Chain A
Amino acid sequence: GDSVTQMEGPVTLSEEAFLTINCTYTATGYPSLFWYVQYPGEGLQLLLKATKADDKGSNKGFEATYRKETTSFHLEKGSVQVSDSAVYFCALSGDGGYNKLIFGAGTRLAVHP
């Protein structure tokens, strides 16, 4: 079945450092890909998405490119802030339609001043 694999955390960075969180997927067909973010004590929020190969999703300085040849959707940000500290989830829209999202295990990011 479809699945998502993310790099294990926690990822600890200093403010203004470059961020990469790796995400690879296994899927039949052509899923849409997403990054969600979860701040402490809150639900998940959509950060960005890409719906087809070579699409780049971007939001709040974060970017991810849908790479079909490497089945990857790595999240990047050029300069992180303390306020970016959260858990980041990579996800794909699974088979069977009806928006069945399949999530990776999440990667915790801690940014220090």
Chain B
Amino acid sequence: DTAVSQTPKYLVTQMGNDKSIKCEQNLGHDTMYWYKQDSKKFLKIMFSYNNKELIINETVPNRFSPKSPDKAHLNLHINSLELGDSAVYFCASSQQPSDSPLHFGNGTRLTVT
């Protein structure tokens, strides 16, 4: 059973397009996250939701809009894609308190041409 699953695994698209990445977790966790991993493997948090409420919103362009229809799902929509958006995007989930481990999905490799 996959704990944190995200789709698609690969996404190739052209500049200016709009695309979405979906994430679902079946762990019963309250908190979900989106992380971006650049080509040098550096990981940076983008967003976090706790029980469908946005709690972390780092300095991410407003072309990126997360949506959490329920606490098991956190989707990421990206408008007007740019070359610099090319990266691997990881969804993760965790239970509180603050030192509980994150469970990551296998990532979505986004390539913008």
Chain A: residues with CB nearer than 8 A to chain B? Answer: 32, 34, 36, 38, 41-46, 49, 51, 87, 89, 93, 96-103, 105-106, 108
B105 CB within 8 Å of chain A: yes
CA distance A98 to B43 in the complex (A): 17
B50 CB within 8 Å of chain A: yes
Given A49-B99, A51-B99: A43 in contact with B41 (beta carbons within 8 A) = no
CA distance A45 to B4 in the complex (A): 12
Instruction: Give every chain A residue within 8 A of B102 (Cβ-Cβ).
Output: 36, 44, 46, 99, 101
The answer to whether A34 touches B40, judged by C-beta atoms less than 8 angstroms apart, is no
The residue that A43 contacts in the complex, of B31, B40, B48, B105, with Cβ under 8 A, is B105
Interface centre among B98, B100, B104 (most CB of A within 10 A): B98
The answer to whether B42 touches A101, judged by C-beta atoms less than 8 angstroms apart, is no
The answer to whether A106 touches B43, judged by C-beta atoms less than 8 angstroms apart, is yes
Min C-beta distance of A8 to chain B, whole Å: 10
Chain B: residues with CB nearer than 8 A to chain A? Answer: 4, 31, 40-45, 48, 50, 55-56, 90, 92, 94, 96-107
Instruction: Give every chain B residue within 8 A of A98 (Cβ-Cβ).
Output: 31, 48, 50, 55-56, 98
**Smallest Cβ-Cβ distance to B55: which chain A residue:** A98
CA distance A26 to B99 in the complex (A): 17
The answer to whether A43 touches B104, judged by C-beta atoms less than 8 angstroms apart, is yes
CA distance A4 to B55 in the complex (A): 22
**Smallest Cβ-Cβ distance to A34: which chain B residue:** B101
- Offer 25 A-B interface pairs, CB within 8 angstroms, sorted by A: A32-B98, A38-B41, A41-B106, A42-B107, A43-B105, A43-B106, A43-B107, A44-B90, A44-B104, A46-B102, A46-B103, A49-B101, A87-B41, A98-B31, A98-B56, A98-B98, A99-B96, A99-B98, A99-B99, A100-B56, A101-B45, A101-B102, A103-B42, A103-B44, A105-B41
